[in-house]
Structure 1
C-alpha cells in the first residue's frame, strides 16, 4: 500500500469531521441568537450528534471489516456532504438537528474505519502510537481551524444575522474533495479479516464478548470520563466566553481556538514524549494538571464587567488561562487508545474501536447535557467547577486500567 497517500486520506477525513463535530458549541451559540432557542433546548444538539455515533457504532462496527473500510469512509463523506448543503438551503433549528444526526452517523462509520486502517499500515507498536497521536493531533488542528473558519463568517455586530450559514458551502466542498481523494486511493484490507470465517451474527457476539473483559471495561470507563470533560469544556466554552467573560460572539468563538490549539500542540508532541516515558505517569500528571488549571483559572472569571470595546489585548486573563487545560488533556485520549488497541490482534480493532466510539459518544452527550443544564439553571462558574468530579474519577480508572494492562501483557499484540 502507498502508506503516505493512505495516511493523507485518513488525516483529511479526520480534519473534516473535526470541524463538523466540534462546531456544535458554535452552532449552539448561533441558534440561541438566530432562532430564539434556550440553552437547555440548544444543548440537545450534542445528543443529536453523539447518540447516533453510539447507536451506529454498536450496530455496524463488528461488520465493517466485511463491508470494507474504504466503502465506509466514502459513505460517511457522502452523507456529511449532503447534510452540510442543507444548512444554508433550509435554515432552521430542525436542520441543525438533522445536520448533527448525519454527522454522528457518518463519524461512527469513519472513526471505526480510520482507527482500524491504522492497524493495517502500522509496522509495530511504536509506529501505531505515533500515527494515533499524529491523527488525533491533526484532528485538533481541524478543531482549531473550525473556530476561526466559523468566526470569520459570524457577524458580531448583528447577532441575529444568518450569514454564518455560508460556511457550510465551504465545508461541503471540502467533503467532496476528500471523497475524491479516498476514492482514488488503493487500500489493502486483507489484514482485517478474522483468522476463521464467521458470519455477521458471530462478529457481533465477538464484540460483546470483548466488553466482558475487565481490561476493556476500565478502558471504556476512562474514555467515557475523558470525553465527558473534553466535550463539556469544548461545547460550552464559546458560551462561557460570551456570557461570563463578556466577549463579543465572534471573539468568543475565536478565543476558544486557544483551547483547540493547546490540544493540537499537546497531541502532536505527545508521540515524542510517550516514546521516551512510560504512559501511566505521563497521563497521571496530565490529569492532575487538568484539575490544577480549573482551580487556578475559574476564580479569575468572577466580577468581569462588560466592555463594548474589548480586544485581544484587553480581554480577561481567564480567557487565555483556562483554555490551557487542553495541553494537559491532549495526551490522554490517544494514549489510552493506543495502549488498548496495541493489546489486541488486528481483526479485533474494528469491534474494539466500535466500543470506544460508543462510550466516547455517550460521554460527550452526558458532559454537554449536564454542563448545559447547570449553566442554564445555576451559573457557568459552577458548571465548569463540576469538571473536577470526572477528573478525580479518571485518576482512579486510569490506575485500574494500568493494573489490567499489566495483567494482560502476555496477550497477542496488534502487530508483529
Structure 2
C-alpha cells in the first residue's frame, strides 16, 4: 500500500513539467496538483482517522483502497486540468483512510516501541521503493509517447490486487486497555488529541520535515533545468554526460538514496539513540540545502539528491514515536492527527515555494531558500529533543502498559 501511494504522489514533480506545457498554467497553479491531494490526506487523516479504531483496521483499509482505485481508473477519461486535480484530491482523501488503518495495524503487530520504530522504517522503505518506480514509469511513458495518466491506471491495478489480498488476509486483533474504549472512540476524541503535547510535538516535526522534503521531488526538476524559458527541459549547462544523466534522473537518485537509507534505518533504530540520529541527520540536510544554494546548480545537482540519505529515517521515526506515546486503542486516531500535519506540510510547503518563486521571476532557487528555512527550524527542534528528551518517561510507561516489557 505504501509503495502504491508513493508511485503516484512522488511522481508529481515529473508530471508538473508536462502539465505546465499542456495546460499553460503557472508554478502556483501547477503546485495545486500536489497541494490539494495533500490537503485531502490531511483532512481525511484528521476527520476520519478514528475509523481505524472504531470500525477496525481491515474494513478501514479496504474502504480507503476502494475509493483510491475508483479515482485511479477515472484518469482514463481525465483530459481537463480541473478534473485531473479533482481526481488527485479524491485519491488523497482515500489515502488518508487506508494509511491511518495501516499505521494502526503496525502497532498491532509490534511487540515493543523499539520494534514499532523498526517496522515503521520498513514500511516507509517500501514507500521509498514506490517513489523510485513512479517517476521512472512516468519518464518511460512520456518517452514512448504515452500519456502520463496511465501511471494512475497502473496504480489502480495494484490497488485492485491489494483489495483482494486485504479481503483474504487474517488481521491480528488488538487489545484495548478498557472495555469502554470502543465507545470513547469518536471524531471529537480524535480532535482533542491535537492538544496533547506528544501528538502536537511530533506532528509539528512531521510538518517541518515534509515541507522541506517535498521541495526535492516537487521543485528540484524545475530548479536543475538549465533554461526554464524553453518548452522542453534542457541540461546543456552540465558539461559531462554523467552530470546530464544525473540532472534528468535527479528525483530518482534522491528516492533511491532515501529508500536505501530507510532499509538501513531498520537496523539503525534498533541499535542507536533515535534522538541523536535525528539531530545529526537533520543538521546534514540543512548543510546539503545551504551548500546546494550557495554553489548553484552544479553543486545542487549532487547535494540535493544526497540529502535523501539523511531524510530517510526522520519521518518514519516521527510517526512511530508519536504513535507509540499512546495506547493501542488510540493508534488510528493519533496516526490521523500526525498524518494531518504531514499532509498539511506537503500541501503548504511546495505551494509557498511556488508563490515565492513566481514573485521572484519564476526561479525555483527562491523556493529552495524557503525549504532551507523549514529544515533549519526542524534541526533546532531536534537539538532540543536530544538534549531534553521529553518523551523518555512517556515511552517507558507505554512500553510497560501496552507491550508488557
**Equivalence for 2:240:** none
Deviations 1:118-170 (A, max 9, x none): 111112223212211111111011001111111100139xxxx6632333332
Task: State how 1:85-234 maps to structure 2 within 5 Å.
Answer: 85-155=73-143, 163-191=147-175, 193=176, 195-198=178-181, 203-234=186-217
Structure 1 alignment gaps of length 5 or more: 1-12, 303-315
How far is 1:206 from its partner?
3.0
Query: Does the CA-based 8 Å contact 2:64-2:95 persist in structure 1?
Result: yes
CA distance in 1 between counterparts of 2:299 and 2:185 reads 55
C-alpha contact (below 8 Å) 1:81/1:176 kept by paired residues: yes
| Residue in 1 that maps onto 2:366 | 382
C-alpha contact (below 8 Å) 1:151/1:251 kept by paired residues: no
Contact preservation (8 Å) 1:148, 1:253: no
Mapped partners of 1:209, 1:279: distance in 2: 27
Superposed counterparts of 1:284-295, under 5 Å = 284-295=279-290
Q: Give CA-to-partner distance per residue, 1:248-285, whole Å, 9 cap, x none.
A: 99986633101111110111101212222111111111
Partner of 1:350: 332
- Closer, same or farther: CA 251–90 of 1 in aligned 2, 3 Å: farther
194-203 or 254-263: which moved more?
A: 194-203
Counterparts of residues 70-81 of structure 1 (less than 5 Å): 70-81=58-69
What is the distance in 2 between the residues matched to 1:346 and 1:154? 45
Q: CA deviation at 1:105?
A: 0.7
Q: CA deviation at 1:111?
A: 1.3
Shift in alpha-carbon separation, 1:56–1:167, aligned structure 2, 3 A:
closer
The reply to whether residue 271 of structure 1 matches residue 253 of structure 2 is no
Q: Does the residue aligned with 1:344 lie in a helix, a strand or coil?
A: coil
CA distance in 2 between partners of 1:390 and 1:282 (Å): 19
Aligned to 2:342: 360
> Conserved in 1, the CA contact under 8 Å of 2:28 and 2:355?
yes
Contact 2:76 2:150 in 1 (8 A): yes
Offset at residue 16 of structure 1 (A)? 0.6
Residue aligned with 1:37, SS? coil
Q: Determine if the alignment matches structure 1 residue 41 to structure 2 residue 29.
A: yes
Relative to structure 1, the CA distance from residue 55 to residue 194 in structure 2 (aligned partners, 3 Å threshold; closer, same or farther) is farther
8 Å CA contact retained: 1:17, 1:107: yes
- How much does 1:373 deviate? 1.2
What is the aligned partner in structure 2 of residue 320 from structure 1? Answer: 302
Aligned to 1:9: none
Q: Give aligned pairs, total.
A: 386
User: For 1:186, what is the secondary structure of its paired residue?
Assistant: coil
Q: Give the superposition deviation at 1:356.
A: 0.4
The normalised TM-score by structure 2 is 0.88
Return the offset for 1:371.
1.2
CA RMSD of aligned residues (A): 2.4
Unpaired runs of at least 5, structure 2:
237-243
Q: 1:66 aligns with which of 38, 51, 54?
A: 54
> Measured at CA, do residues 135 and 274 of structure 1 come closer, stay the same or move farther in structure 2, by a change above 3 Å?
same
